[in-house]
Amino acid sequence: MDRPREACGVFGIHAADTDVARTAFFALYALQHRGQESAGIATSDGVSAALHKDMGLVAQVFTEESLGRLSGHLAIGQTRYSTTGSSHVRNAQPYLIETMHGPLGVGHNGNLTNAPELRRRLLEHGVGLTSSSDSEVITQMLAAPVNDGREQDPDWEARIDQFMQAADGAYSLVVLTRSAVYGARDPNGFRPLCIGDLPEGGHVLASESCALGTVGARYVREVGPGEIIRLDATSYHSISSNAAPRRGSLCVFEYVYFARPDSVLEGQTIHRVRQRLGEALAAEGPASADVVVGVPDSATPAAIGYATASGIPYTEGLTKNRYIGRTFIEPSDRLRRSGVHLKYNPLEANLDGKRVVLVDDSIVRGNTAGPLVALLREGGASEVHVRVSSPPVRHPCFMGIDMADSEQLIGYTNTVDEIRAHIGADSLYYLSQEGMMGAVAHEADSDGGHCNACFSGEYPLELDGYWEHRDKLAFQSAWSESE
C-alpha cells in the first residue's frame, strides 16, 4: 500500500510480582501498527536472561509455551519494520548478549545516520557483527565502549551516555541489564518514548501511550530529548545525557499517520490533531460536494474535521478488510491485479450519484490513490475531489522511516496537476506546510520543534557522506541476506 512505514515500537518494564513477559506481549500487540515484520521479548530475573523472537506479527511469534519460558521481573520488547538492516530473522530484536557484567538486551526504534562509521570502529576493535542492523551496533557499543580499551565498571548509564555522544540520527532505546531497564531518546527527539507506572507497583516505557492503557499503566510523561531513564526496584530515575542538546525535532508524521489515534504526544491526543488537520484542509481547499469520505482508518479523523469545518456531511464510503494485511500468503497474479479491492470495498448506497470529497492523510508513491478514486467511481460517485491532510512528500527520510528515494516519490517528480491527472481525480489539494504545522503545534506542550524534512527538505542533521555510507550498508545487507 502507498504508505510510509515505521521502524518499530519498543517497550520496557520493571515490576516485581508481575508476569512481565505477558505484559510486554500485550504492549507490543498495542504497538503492532509500528512494525509487522518481526517481534521479540527479552526478560531477566536478575541472574539469567531469556529471549524469544521471530519473524511475523506479535500474535504469530508468541505462544503460551514461549511466553512461559520468559521469566523474571525485567523485560524489554520490540516489534519491527526494517529500515537499516534487511528483513531477516538475524536482524529481529531485541538483541541479547552476555557481557562480563551480566546480560545486555537492546531494542531500538530509529535509524543511525552514522551507523557505518560506528560499525567500522567496532570492527577495528575486534568486535564481530552478525547482522546488518544498526541496532546490533548499539548493543556492541554498550557492551564494549569503542573509545576505551580498559575494563569498565558496569556503569550502564555512563555507557548509554557515551553511545549518545557518538551516535547521530534517530533512536528511542530500551535497554535490559541485570538489575534495571533503561530508556533513552536521541537529543533531537525524533522518535517518541513515554513513561508509565503500574497500579501494583513498577514502571514501564513505551513508544506510544496507547500501549500503557492496554497493560493498565498510568501515563506519567514523555521521555525528553537527550534524556536517559532508569527503571529499578525503587522507581524511575532521570539522567541527563552529555550529548550535545539540539532543537526538538519530533517526527511530524507521527501526527499525520504513524501514531495510533488514541495516543498522546506533547500533551495532545493524536485524533484531535488529525481533526485539526482536516479543519485546516477544509479552509484551504474547499470543494463543492455532497459527502466527505475518509480513507480508513488513518484518514478518518481528518475527514471528520474536514466535514465539520465545511458543513458537508461525513459518511463511510470505503469498507476496509482489516485482516487482509495480516497474512504472509502471497496473492495470485489475478488477485494482485485487483489491487485495492483486496483491502477496500465501496459502500454503493453512500456513494451512488454523489459528489465525493475523498480525504487521505498522505500520498507517497501514488500507487493507491488512483485505484481508490476508481473504486469510488465504481461505487457510483459522480465526482471525486481528493484532499490530502499533509503537503506533498518530496524528500526521503533518514531518521527511521521508509519513505522511498526521491525518484520514487510522486510529489518530487510531478506537479500537483500532474498528480491529479495520474490518479484520475476531478480536483486535488494538499494541505500547506504552514497549515499542517499550525495544526500540529496548536496545543503542543513542548518547547521544541518538529521534523518535517520529508515535506520541506530541511533536515535537522548533517547528512554529508551519508549516501556513500548507505550504499555500502545496502551492499552489506544484500550480502548477509545471500549468505
Catalytic annotation, residues: 8
Handedness of CA 356, 357, 361, 364 (dihedral sign): positive
Q: Are 23 and 16 in contact (CB under 8 A)?
A: no
The sheet carrying 169-176 orders its strands as 95-99, 102-112, 169-176, 181-185, 227-231, 236-240
Under 8 Å between Cβ of 38 and 89: yes
At residue 259's C-alpha, the angle toward residues 253 and 265, to 5°, is 90
Residue 302, number of CB atoms within 10 A of its CB: 33
Q: Using CA atoms, how far apart are residues 283 and 302, in angstroms rounded to an integer?
A: 13
Residue 137, CA distances (Å) to 50, 114, 355 in order: 21, 11, 53
Helix (H) or strand (E) holding 427: strand 427-430
**Residue 8, CB half-sphere, CA atoms under 13 Å: how many?**
37
User: For residues 416 and 430, is the Cβ–Cβ distance under 8 A?
Assistant: yes
Helices and strands, counts by H and E, the chain: 18, 23
Reported as half-sphere exposure (CB side, CA atoms, 13 A), residue 418 has a value of 7
